[in-house]
Structure 1
Amino acid sequence: MATPSSRRDRVDTMLAFLATFEPERDASAKAIAWRLRRAARQLDTEVRRRLAPLGMELWELEILSGLRRAGGTLTVGELLDVAQLTSGAITNRIARLEREGYVRRDVDPADRRQVLVTLTPSGLERQLQAVEANDVAEQEIFATIDPALQHRLSSDLRELLLAIEGPDPHA
């Protein structure tokens, strides 16, 4: 597979190896998937490294940030969508955040079958710390990438996610 520049990344090496066994195979989708996974892994690793001194994990940032974006309160079901977790995992994580005083759970007065999860003032403070650490990690990773390329990547990834997930149902 020809590369647009003379520089090769690790995925180029993997694709070349694959081509020795299946030269007729169109590996375009595989190249995208491998590069996205590698990039996501690098980003997650750096964000986790920045969150570790705060004693925080990435899932905590996602849940607290989801609550903040929603105005402070979501149902457990809505949090499932925000955090992309299973119902068992979200229940355990909400319980942990509640024990630490970052959220509180209440029965929805309008629908007693629903549980509302609300960000506490201490949870908001925690979320702000996490966002700061996350921002530093992202700035470091993307600091050497041309701003025009960053814009193109963001736009192309938006189109990819729209094709895979569809538009945001809450927008």
Structure 2
Amino acid sequence: MLHRCIIPAMAREGDAVDAITRQWQALRPGLDLSTLELAARLLRAAALIDRETGTFLGELGLSRGEFDVLAALRRAGTPQTPGSLRTVTLVSAAAVTKRIAALQRSGLVERSPNPADGRGALISLTPAGERVIDDAFPHVLAIERRLLGGLSPAQHARAVVALRQILASAEGIPQGG
């Protein structure tokens, strides 16, 4: 299979993204590939983090999305509506409903009537859910720390600033100063 050996052979200097960039430069010398260099690395890093944390969370019987709901509830400290969970986890109403249902079946969250809205519900962590998120979160941080550990503290701080600017730009949030 040729596709398996082209990139590693070309990646002798740099990483696989450098090899991909060199391939495109050879094919299309006039293209500005600077965004590819950054976007491909962001996507690759996110995929690696997602894979590693997903493996760990899978061992706990959780998906990454379910973990995100538990984390949102823990951070909030009070019961939340499905709508507020949808907002903070950046997913569709259907996705958050599915995640809540799975967590409810697992005994990690409970649904109760919302006294402020007779048709609505409030979602809260059960004691078991609180234990799971409190135990899992430090492990997820350790995985992320291991995967991102190639940066010095100064590089890490600069990366945080740069990524915050990228997200603000992509999300249409005006940047100050």
Preserved CA contact (<8 Å) 2:17 2:41: yes
Please name the residue that 2:6 is paired with.
none
- What code does the residue aligned with 1:107 have? P
Q: Distance in 2 between matches of 1:161 and 1:93?
A: 25
Q: Distance in 1 between matches of 2:46 and 2:59?
A: 21
Preserved CA contact (<8 Å) 1:64 1:123: yes
Measured on the aligned residues, the alpha-carbon RMSD in Å equals 1.8
Give 1:13-32 correspondences, 5 Å limit.
13-32=19-38
Q: Which runs of 4+ in 1 moved over 6 A?
A: none
Please name the residue that 1:94 is paired with.
100
> Which ranges in structure 1 are unaligned for 5 or more consecutive residues?
1-5
Give 1:123-138 correspondences, 5 Å limit.
123-138=129-144
How many residue pairs end up in the alignment?
162
Preserved CA contact (<8 Å) 1:103 1:123: yes
SS where residue 112 of structure 2 aligns?
strand
Preserved CA contact (<8 Å) 1:51 1:133: no
Q: Distance in 2 between matches of 1:21 and 1:144?
A: 32
Bigger RCO of structures 1 and 2 (CA < 8 A, at least 6 apart): 1
Residue in structure 2 matching 1:162, options 159, 162, 168: 168
- String of CA shifts for 1:12-59, please: whole Å, max 9, x gaps: 111111122221111222222111100101111121232233222211
Preserved CA contact (<8 Å) 1:102 1:123: yes
- What code does the residue aligned with 2:52 have? E
| TM-score under structure 1 length normalisation | 0.86
Preserved CA contact (<8 Å) 2:66 2:100: no
Please name the residue that 2:45 is paired with.
39
SS where residue 114 of structure 1 aligns?
strand
Q: Please state how far the C-alpha of 1:9 moved relative to its aligned partner.
A: 1.4
SS where residue 151 of structure 2 aligns?
coil
SS where residue 118 of structure 2 aligns?
coil
Q: Please state how far the C-alpha of 1:166 moved relative to its aligned partner.
A: 4.7
> Which ranges in structure 2 are unaligned for 5 or more consecutive residues?
1-11
Cα gap change, 1:68 to 1:75, in 2 (>3 Å) = same
Q: Distance in 1 between matches of 2:50 and 2:78?
A: 25
Q: Please state how far the C-alpha of 1:86 moved relative to its aligned partner.
A: 2.1
Q: Distance in 2 between matches of 1:73 and 1:28?
A: 45
Question: Is 1:64 matched up with 2:70?
Answer: yes
Please name the residue that 2:55 is paired with.
49
